[in-house]
């Protein structure tokens, strides 16, 4: 039976909500008064995320689920509807990964990354659509990465999954447009983010895993995701100057970028320290024997708190108009200068 709610906010589902970007995103939605369903494996991180949501002013619903299980995700979606009411926003964010050369990743490990990171998005999207399409409204936000366009060494399974999400989402978007559906889907492409994932991914590198610099705080990503949820007419948003630079370089000189990453991509993703943390590929790092990792990783000292590029991405039409007006002004000034000199 549906619980009576006093909140006027949206009903939002966030997968991978127990830590990192998902945790920061749940807090950001809650700050707007939304009711947030928190989906992830584990227990400690979900409990902490629920506390965060309530402190931020929202309502929390905790659902422990492995997103690679399609039926479990469907059941979770129904639980959200039964408790909070119709789903307004679904954010696909859950993932796992392996830091290792491709030849050192077993078939089972590669399959597991694909099932969680790619099929988890597929199953989440299907569950969301099952409830959104009959109402002809709702928004699905796919949390992507610069690696959805540009593969890098040592993350072949993760990059493959992110590329798959990109293609899947484009196909779905075309179908929704064809049907003139009121349901929207958009994608947010992220840079390297200061999250705990670098201490819990399966790591076979010599050093301790780290994000490629520059590193952004998860709140930067969260703000972009919340904004995209309310402005889903755009097919995607880029977060961070490094994301924009990577995607543009890959579109223009991909071969040159291959060689650059071959030289720099190994050293830029690891530190000299050894990796001693738990691996969450098969079991959550925040289970009953683990602890709550929170939203931030160990890179607070270097992480950036804002992204001017994100503002440009949101306001590209305004920027385009300003550039057009500016160019017209320059041309007019040149004409006047030319006439005056005659």
The pair of structure tokens assigned to 217 is 């705080």
Q: How many Å apart are CA 284 and CA 290, to the nearest integer?
A: 8
**Which residues share a beta bridge with 98?**
202
Instruction: Exactly one of 158, 216, 227, 237 is catalytic; name it.
Output: 158
d(Cα 36, Cα 55) in Å, to the nearest integer? 12
Q: How far apart are CA 121 and CA 114, in angstroms?
A: 10
Q: Is 216 a catalytic residue?
A: no
Among 336, 196, 342, smallest CA distance to 280 is for 196
- Whether the CB-CB separation of 295 and 197 falls below 8 Å is answered with no
- Whether residue 176 is preceded by a cis peptide bond, meaning omega within 30 degrees of 0, is no
Query: Across 65-159, where does the E strand assignment appear?
Result: 89-92, 98-99, 138-145
Closest Cα partner for 138 from 80, 83, 193? 80
Chain center to CA of 319: 25
Residues marked as catalytic: 158
């Amino acid at each position: 039976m549906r619980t009576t709610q006093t909140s006027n906010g949206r009903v939002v589902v966030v997968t991978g909500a127990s830590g990192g970007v998902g945790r920061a995103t749940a807090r950001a939605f809650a700050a707007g008064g939304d009711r947030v369903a928190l989906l992830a494996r584990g227990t400690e991180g979900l409990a902490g995320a629920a506390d965060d949501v309530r402190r931020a002013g929202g309502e929390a619903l905790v659902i422990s689920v492995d997103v690679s299980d399609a039926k479990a995700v469907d059941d979770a979606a129904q639980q959200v509807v039964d408790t909070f009411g119709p789903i307004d926003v679904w954010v696909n964010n859950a993932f796992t990964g392996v830091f290792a050369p491709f030849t050192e990743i077993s078939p089972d490990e590669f399959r597991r990354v694909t099932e969680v990171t790619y099929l988890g998005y597929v199953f989440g999207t299907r569950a969301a659509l099952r409830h959104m399409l009959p109402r002809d409204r709702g928004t699905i936000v796919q949390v992507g990465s610069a690696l959805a366009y540009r593969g890098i060494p040592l993350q072949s399974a993760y990059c493959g999954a992110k590329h798959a999400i990109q293609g899947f989402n484009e196909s779905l978007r075309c179908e929704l447009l064809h049907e003139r559906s009121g349901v929207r889907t958009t994608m947010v492409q992220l840079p390297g983010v200061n999250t705990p994932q670098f201490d819990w991914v399966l790591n076979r590198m010599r050093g301790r895993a780290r994000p490629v610099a520059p590193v952004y705080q998860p709140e930067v990503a969260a703000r972009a995701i919340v904004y995209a949820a309310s402005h889903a007419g755009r097919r995607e948003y880029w977060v961070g100057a490094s994301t924009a630079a990577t995607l543009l370089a890959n579109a223009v000189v991909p071969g040159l970028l291959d060689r650059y990453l071959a030289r720099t991509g190994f050293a830029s993703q690891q530190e000299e320290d050894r990796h001693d943390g738990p691996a969450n590929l098969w079991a959550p790092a925040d289970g009953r024997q683990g602890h709550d990792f929170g939203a931030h990783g160990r890179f607070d000292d270097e992480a950036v708190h804002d992204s001017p590029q994100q503002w440009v991405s949101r306001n590209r039409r305004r920027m385009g108009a300003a550039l057009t007006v500016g160019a017209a002004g320059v041309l007019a000034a040149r004409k006047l200068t030319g006439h005056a000199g005659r």
